[in-house]
């Protein structure tokens, strides 16, 4: 699910100065880009500022397709949300995705490989039905876009897999996990992401989510977490500190690499100075370069 980074910049027109359709998107922070900067500031730069291309993977494509199927499943009447229907939605979801991103078809050398991959996606959907019964759930929304501005001026932006609201009003945020990252690392990143969404929802709607639910489809396990106001207030200060560090790096171009065992999975390793490579010239922070008035400011 997925992937944003921004805040207001003086060069951006205020809402009163321009019609919505003519305004560039405001600088904002997403959980993915915040996580990138925490992991490695240079990774953030390559993804959010330089916007360098990355090689897609089968695992990423599988996650996108599974999320798409689950979103479509909840668009159907409750009595149609069964395993057979989910299986039927799988191939159309792949055809739509591969039509939008033709390069994904190059991940497979032939029909047998593609069919095996689709089967693996189907197994993740089977796992989902082991974790909950979608016929008993009526989400408020799926793939919910959330955006809010904190008192500091920092804008938070992202997409929540699912928002459930109980008849008594309690809010639950649900996130599906399909990746194969090590469990401990995966949970740490996932909880960071979910706290981000919880804070954004709380600040935008005034409702503190009662539960954050992570559904790990690969191993058929769920992790439920209950945030509280004090914790989210601390998390808000953490995000503001991350954003200030991003802005400082953006002014100078000093996005330093932070080598770790994750470097082996990074597409940018060949151009990373920490591994003997040479980074491309810094293009400048949005708002200080010619494309500053376009929507392609750092986001994910």
Element (H, E) at 158: strand 155-165
Residue 2 has pLDDT above 60, yes or no: no
197 in Cβ contact with 146 (< 8 Å):
yes
Structure confidence by residue, pLDDT tens digits, 234-243: 999 999 999 9
Fold entry, domain 26-51+138-268: Lambda Exonuclease; Chain A (3.90.320)
Of 15-29, 44-58, 81-95, the one with minimum mean pLDDT is 15-29
Enumerate the H helices of the chain as residue ranges.
Answer: 31-39, 41-44, 58-73, 83-100, 111-131, 183-205, 229-252
Cα torsion for 113, 114, 119, 122, to the nearest 10°?
150
Structure confidence by residue, pLDDT tens digits, 217-239: 998 999 999 999 999 999 999 99
What does the pLDDT average to over 251-263? 95
What does the pLDDT average to over 159-187? 87
What does the pLDDT average to over 263-272? 96
Give the rounded percent of residues in the chain with a pLDDT score beyond 90.
Answer: 80
- Laid out side by side, the sheet with 211-216 consists of 141-149, 155-165, 171-177, 211-216, 221-225
Query: pLDDT value at position 97?
Result: 97
DSSP letter for each residue of 255-281: ------GGGGG-TTGGG-GGGT--PPP
Structure confidence by residue, pLDDT tens digits, 101-130: 999 999 999 999 999 999 999 999 999 999
pTM here? Answer: 0.84
Specify the higher pLDDT residue, 194 or 286. Answer: 194
Distance CA(26)–CA(4), nearest Å, equals 11
CA 54 remoteness from chain centre = 16
Please classify residue 268 by burial: count the beta carbons closer than 10 Å to its beta carbon, then call 0-12 exposed, 13-18 middle and 19+ buried.
Answer: buried
Residue 15 has pLDDT above 70, yes or no: no
Query: pLDDT value at position 27?
Result: 86
CA 52 remoteness from chain centre = 17
> Token pair of 251, please?
């002014």
Cα 299 to Cα 34, 119, 142, 197, distances in angstroms: 10, 33, 21, 16
Averaged confidence pLDDT in the chain: 87
């Amino acid at each position: 699910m997925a992937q944003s980074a921004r805040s207001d910049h003086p060069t951006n027109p205020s809402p009163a100065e321009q019609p919505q359709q003519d305004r560039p998107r405001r600088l904002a922070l997403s959980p993915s880009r915040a996580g990138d900067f925490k992991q490695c500031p240079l990774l953030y730069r390559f993804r959010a500022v330089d916007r360098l291309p990355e090689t897609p993977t089968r695992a990423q494509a599988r996650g996108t397709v599974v999320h798409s199927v689950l979103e479509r499943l909840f668009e159907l009447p409750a009595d149609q949300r069964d395993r057979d229907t989910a299986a039927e939605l799988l191939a159309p979801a792949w055809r739509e995705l591969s039509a939008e991103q033709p390069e994904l078809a190059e991940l497979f050398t032939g029909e047998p490989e593609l069919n095996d991959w689709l089967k693996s996606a189907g197994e993740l959907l089977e796992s989902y039905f082991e974790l909950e019964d979608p016929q008993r759930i009526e989400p408020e929304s799926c793939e919910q876009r959330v955006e809010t501005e904190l008192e500091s001026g920092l804008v938070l932006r992202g997409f929540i897999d699912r928002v459930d609201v109980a008849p008594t009003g309690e809010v639950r945020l649900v996130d599906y996990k399909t990746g194969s990252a090590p469990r401990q690392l995966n949970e740490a990143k996932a909880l960071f992401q979910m706290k981000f969404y919880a804070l954004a929802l709380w600040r935008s709607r005034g409702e503190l989510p009662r539960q954050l639910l992570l559904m790990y489809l690969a191993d058929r396990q769920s992790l439920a977490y209950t945030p509280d106001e004090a914790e989210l207030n601390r998390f808000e200060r953490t995000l503001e500190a991350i954003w200030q560090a991003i802005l400082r790096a953006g002014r100078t171009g000093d996005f330093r690499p932070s080598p770790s065992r994750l470097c082996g999975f990074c597409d940018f390793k060949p151009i990373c100075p920490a591994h003997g490579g040479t980074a491309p010239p810094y293009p400048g922070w949005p708002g200080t370069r010619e494309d500053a008035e376009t929507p392609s400011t750092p986001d994910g």
